[in-house]
Structure 1
Amino acid sequence: MFSQASTLQSPSGASLALRHEAARGVPRGILLISHGLAEHSARYAAFAARLAAEGFHVYAHDHRGHGFTSAPDAPRGQFAPKGGIARVIADMRAVRDHAAARHPGLPVVLFGHSMGGLMALAFAEAHPGDIDALAVWNSNLAPGLAGRAAQAVLAAERMLKGSDVPSDVLPRLTFGAWGRSIANRRTDFDWLSHDPAEVDAYIADPHCGFDVNVAMWIDIFAVTFANASAQGLARLPRRLPIHLVGGEEDPATDFGRAVHVLAGRLKKSRLEDVTTTVYRGMRHETLKESRPLRDPAVDAFAGWCRRVAEAWTRAPEHA
């Protein structure tokens, strides 16, 4: 578990459940974690401890509609009735500003997994001067025609029954389909990881795997298409270091193909420092995979973070 837990008030009106792991030794930087859909930030404790050991102050909060964060307009499974993405980004900026104020003079790395990667990219495009590096792991920012079809389904559901109720269709098209893609599966969530203990922990966690409402699904697809567009990516600083990770056995990213598509779009947008790795044998949750798969990925990321911090320190404006 994280060594520190607190509550942070966001300008959006949310009371954010915030977790912190302090850097060990001489601090190198700040790492902000943006978690995925239907989970929560406490699941990142081991990852936070690993990066804290590398000298990073690690902060992770529960997004609106998730975990222990509360907001008057965000029951579980909903960012907000309308304008949910703007509120999520406002919450992320509140955490970023809180961390930067507590640890001035350090580079800020923003890490996002899956849905959290969508939000991390959205934040980077909305506030490009607020972070110094970006990591987007296991995120599908290239849903293509299937994504457009999902938007049409969601529009019909909103018209027929409103947006504040769970979608009847999207869980079957996403979590359900991903589960069915795994041959000889033991559970419907084997698509997450090869590690049975991690899959069982996810299933047993009352704050994981819940249905989200139509409004949240609409927000997710809207931000996916907007921020992976050429216009969205053009807002990123050209020299921003970006770290992409996926898995060849992850159905949520079209078995890693969506990660390569995003890398290509970033390079086409003239981003100069993009690191991309799609791991063999990896399913969706890299950080919850079996150790022989997980540890090399985390070690590589830790090394990348060190290099980012060292380059930031050597830059003339920070020397």
Structure 2
Amino acid sequence: MFAERQWLDSPSGARLAYHHQPAETAPRGILLLCHGLAEHSRRYEGFAGALSASGYHVYAHDHRGHGETTAADATLGSFARKDGPAKVVADVMAMRDLAAAKHPGLPIILFGHSMGGLIALNVATEHPQAFAALSIWNSNFNPGLAGRFAQGVLYLEQMLKGSDVPSLILPKATFAAWGRAIPGHRTAFDWLSHDPKEVDAYIADPLCGFDSSVSMWRDIFRLTFAGADPERLVRLPQRLPVYLVGGAEDPATNKGREIRWLGQRMLDAGMIDVETTVYETMRHETLNEIGREKAIGDFLSWLGNLGP
């Protein structure tokens, strides 16, 4: 179980709610965790426990507009009234600096799931020397023409009704469409996992599944298209260890194809230590899937093989 919630005042102006799971054995490193859209950090307790038992400190915070984090310019479902991407990046770096100060000398691994992966890659390319390794799970950096069309729709929504109200179009084009893509689905959120208990827990969680604002969707697409830009990827250290994970039944990443696309994109940018794994029977939330023990075990093996 995560330790009691703690607070950090970020330079961005946010009061970040975060959890720290201490290493249970001789510390080997720090994992900084970025959660996904319309969820929160506490959902990663099980994952944090496995890492803790293997000697890793875990720090997980609620992003702006999520969970228990508060900011004057960020209501639930919005990063900020302006400069949202820059502010969520600043928040991650504030957490990184906190963890580094508390555990000097330990390598820091940056981890992100889905939207958290979008944030993590943007953080890494803006601060390429700040992390010893990078891991991105279930993120789509390649929405293509559909993504550009969505940006146009969001611009029109903002012009017509403002930016701080929920988007009417994007939830239908993403969450709802992904839900319909699952044959014989029991709920609208079966695209998350085969495990009905995890799906039901998500639906019942008051801090999950909320409607994101027009501004947040616009910020998410900014992070998406910026993150895998070749001019940004070349900023990363050529030998930075990268571990990418997807699910072959995940409609949000085109059945894992976009994870493979990202891996190739990184190799094309000159990176030489990129490992990509797509699990055949998994949907979007690999860490909440049936068989997650295998995925977590594989990740721990990768961590164990990282150099000093």
1-structure distance, mates of 2:186, 2:97 = 43
TM-score by length of 2: 0.99
- What is the aligned partner in structure 1 of residue 152 from structure 2? 152
Is the CA contact (8 Å cut-off) linking 1:54 and 1:306 kept in structure 2?
Answer: no
- What is the aligned partner in structure 1 of residue 293 from structure 2? 295
How far off is 1:53 after superposition? 0.7
How far off is 1:4 after superposition? 3.6
* Residue identity opposite 1:294 in structure 2: R
The alignment partner of 1:94 has SS state of: helix
Aligned residues: 308
How far off is 1:171 after superposition? 0.1
* Residue identity opposite 2:302 in structure 1: W
1-structure distance, mates of 2:149, 2:117 = 22
- What is the aligned partner in structure 2 of residue 315 from structure 1? none
CA RMSD, aligned part only?
0.6
Deviations 1:170-221 (A, max 9, x none): 0000000000000100000000000000000000000000001000000100
Deviations 1:111-164 (A, max 9, x none): 000000000000000111111100000000111111011001001111111111
Q: How does 1:194-213 map to 2 (within 5 A)?
A: 194-213=194-213
Decide which moves more: 2-11 or 80-89.
2-11
The alignment partner of 1:266 has SS state of: helix
Is the CA contact (8 Å cut-off) linking 1:30 and 1:107 kept in structure 2?
Answer: yes
2-structure distance, mates of 1:156, 1:221 = 15
Q: How does 1:276-315 map to 2 (within 5 A)?
A: 276-290=276-290, 293-308=291-306, 311-312=307-308
1-structure distance, mates of 2:70, 2:305 = 36
Q: How does 1:178-217 map to 2 (within 5 A)?
A: 178-217=178-217
2-structure distance, mates of 1:212, 1:74 = 11
1-structure distance, mates of 2:74, 2:210 = 15
1-structure distance, mates of 2:301, 2:55 = 12
- What is the aligned partner in structure 2 of residue 119 from structure 1? 119
Alignment pair present for 1:53 and 2:79: no
- What is the aligned partner in structure 2 of residue 106 from structure 1? 106
- What is the aligned partner in structure 1 of residue 168 from structure 2? 168
* Residue identity opposite 2:97 in structure 1: D
1-structure distance, mates of 2:302, 2:108 = 13
1-structure distance, mates of 2:143, 2:112 = 18
The alignment partner of 2:5 has SS state of: strand
How far off is 1:24 after superposition? 1.1
1-structure distance, mates of 2:25, 2:199 = 34
- What is the aligned partner in structure 2 of residue 42 from structure 1? 42
1-structure distance, mates of 2:156, 2:235 = 32
* Residue identity opposite 2:299 in structure 1: F
Is the CA contact (8 Å cut-off) linking 1:4 and 1:21 kept in structure 2?
Answer: no
Is the CA contact (8 Å cut-off) linking 1:39 and 1:209 kept in structure 2?
Answer: yes
1-structure distance, mates of 2:164, 2:75 = 9
2-structure distance, mates of 1:109, 1:29 = 7
* Residue identity opposite 1:132 in structure 2: A
* Residue identity opposite 1:129 in structure 2: Q
How far off is 1:306 after superposition? 1.6
How far off is 1:307 after superposition? 1.5
Q: Percent identity?
A: 60
Is the CA contact (8 Å cut-off) linking 1:30 and 1:56 kept in structure 2?
Answer: yes
* Residue identity opposite 1:250 in structure 2: D
1-structure distance, mates of 2:283, 2:25 = 33
1-structure distance, mates of 2:25, 2:255 = 39
The alignment partner of 2:66 has SS state of: coil
- What is the aligned partner in structure 1 of residue 239 from structure 2? 239
- What is the aligned partner in structure 2 of residue 317 from structure 1? none
* Residue identity opposite 1:245 in structure 2: V
The alignment partner of 2:305 has SS state of: helix
2-structure distance, mates of 1:253, 1:243 = 16
Q: Which runs of 4+ in 1 moved over 2 A?
A: none
* Residue identity opposite 2:298 in structure 1: A
- What is the aligned partner in structure 2 of residue 82 from structure 1? 82
